[in-house]
Chains A and B, each alone.
Chain A
């Protein structure tokens, strides 16, 4: 079923200046069939506002958001159980470690399922499974979530949402604050989840390298408008990246610099990893 945005706009009242339009006429579809979508844009472009529409935390001021067949408009519908939608679309905020509060990791991961009236036994099983999915072993279950390292906390809080078994997993800058190894580990995790379970992943990120390496689709927001919806390859071939406050992935930038410096007109700069880039350089240099 997935999520549909139909001409969605969102305004909110601002202190002295009337109101501010955070989102303007957004239309797009997100299926729940294994997409890997990256949502990018400058700080303040509306990304967080947009994703909070995806699990009905925020209602659109204009237009409709359709989640799992439920139509959401600016008016609250008494018949719709908005809370239950959050089981289907799991949203993990930036710095999710702040949401940990229970005495044990197990209890904290179970908090979500229990809220949705899942029986305790089943919830415990989901917690175990979710923990395994984020790469932590059972010994963590009895530990206090507040005594873990930063990276472990992050993973436990992501497990807390995975335990709900959502069809769409939305994450707001999940790798921020992690060192490079941690980033890589987490991204591989999401990739695996998508491959093994067919869930759709929507990721807000600033890291163009990650976008190029993992995304099948990129959404670009600029001042509340959706200015691009397509593949990363199509995005990075555009000329207006800097107007939209975006940058090229590191590897692409390096290849561009090499191409220009050495006048290598036949070099294909669109490579995703240092390995691929090195091979391309060798290829061009040997001819």
Chain B
């Protein structure tokens, strides 16, 4: 059984149109999924529904064999964490230490256990030196790291990144992406919601959404070859693919084409 199973999920904010419409999706442990689509395609709504922030009109969500319901939501929120777009608007504590502790305090962990986990995960996310700092002295990238530390401290197994890099400058963005790769290597399942195709390239599987529906889903290579999908979802091919697309298939050019296909987005 997959770690996360979504069946026939539908949710509407307003009467006329559903924000997410009949979503069916499976996510396996250890995967790195990118959910792509233009603004308004329902990506964030899907993320919120997965952790029970929204009450769906229809459909079910299973996390680790548990059906999402009022009884199981607390457990599920421990297994799945979410990092939002605005680094400030998810930072609750007066200091870094306070913020990392927040989730654990809600779970009523003992003081000793919390302090232990704070030190451990602050070290892992590289914010040990900042534990007594106030958020106003931190950069956007640092705040996102603190948010990750807070989630890891709850012994999370999957992290959803909802456009978590869009408010960061390119260097902070790359920094965060590098760290997310480390997280993935250590076994955390990654779901990356983005409209940046270069970021989506880090994933092994892509899900393309538009208008509340999943219009295409599959391995990265398949999706990229489907130029129709890109137009439908208002996405642009990454530069390397765009160049490769224009090359012919005679041996010389094909070699370059294949090389371009292998180029990772972390150049």
Binding site for B on A (CB under 8 A): 42-43, 149-151, 176-177, 179-181, 206-207, 209, 245, 247, 250-251, 253-254, 257-258, 261-262, 274-275, 277-279, 281-282, 285-286
Q: Is B166 an interface residue (CB 8 A)?
A: yes
- Which residues does chain B contribute within 8 Å of A262, judged by CB atoms? 255-256, 259
Binding site for A on B (CB under 8 A): 38-40, 139, 166-167, 169-172, 195-197, 234-236, 239-240, 242-243, 245-248, 252-253, 255-256, 259-260, 263, 267
A208 to B83, CA, bound (A): 28
Are the CB atoms of A254 and B239 closer together than 8 Å?
Answer: yes
A207 to B173, CA, bound (A): 13
Are the CB atoms of A281 and B256 closer together than 8 Å?
Answer: yes
Q: Pick from A149, A245, A261, A275: contact of B259, CB below 8 A.
A: A261
CB contact under 8 A between A177 and B171, given known A257-B267, A258-B260: no
Residue contacts A-B, CB under 8 angstroms, 9 given: A42-B169, A176-B166, A177-B167, A250-B267, A261-B259, A274-B242, A274-B243, A282-B247, A282-B248
- Which residues does chain A contribute within 8 Å of B234, judged by CB atoms? 179-181
CB contact under 8 A between A281 and B39, given known A258-B259, A274-B246: no
A152 to B196, CA, bound (A): 20
Q: Pick from A181, A247, A282: contact of B170, CB below 8 A.
A: A247
The 10 closest A-B pairs by CB, nearest first: A278-B246, A274-B242, A285-B252, A180-B236, A179-B195, A250-B239, A274-B243, A277-B243, A43-B169, A206-B170
Q: Pick from B171, B253, B267: contact of A281, CB below 8 A.
A: B253
Known: A257-B259, A262-B255, A279-B246. 18 other contacts (CB 8 A): A42-B171, A43-B171, A150-B39, A177-B167, A180-B234, A181-B234, A206-B169, A206-B170, A245-B171, A254-B239, A254-B240, A254-B243, A258-B256, A262-B256, A277-B243, A278-B245, A281-B243, A286-B252
- Of all chain A residues, which has the CB nearest B174? A247
A261 to B260, CA, bound (A): 11
- Which residues does chain B contribute within 8 Å of A42, judged by CB atoms? 169, 171
A149 to B234, CA, bound (A): 16
Are the CB atoms of B236 and A181 closer together than 8 Å?
Answer: yes
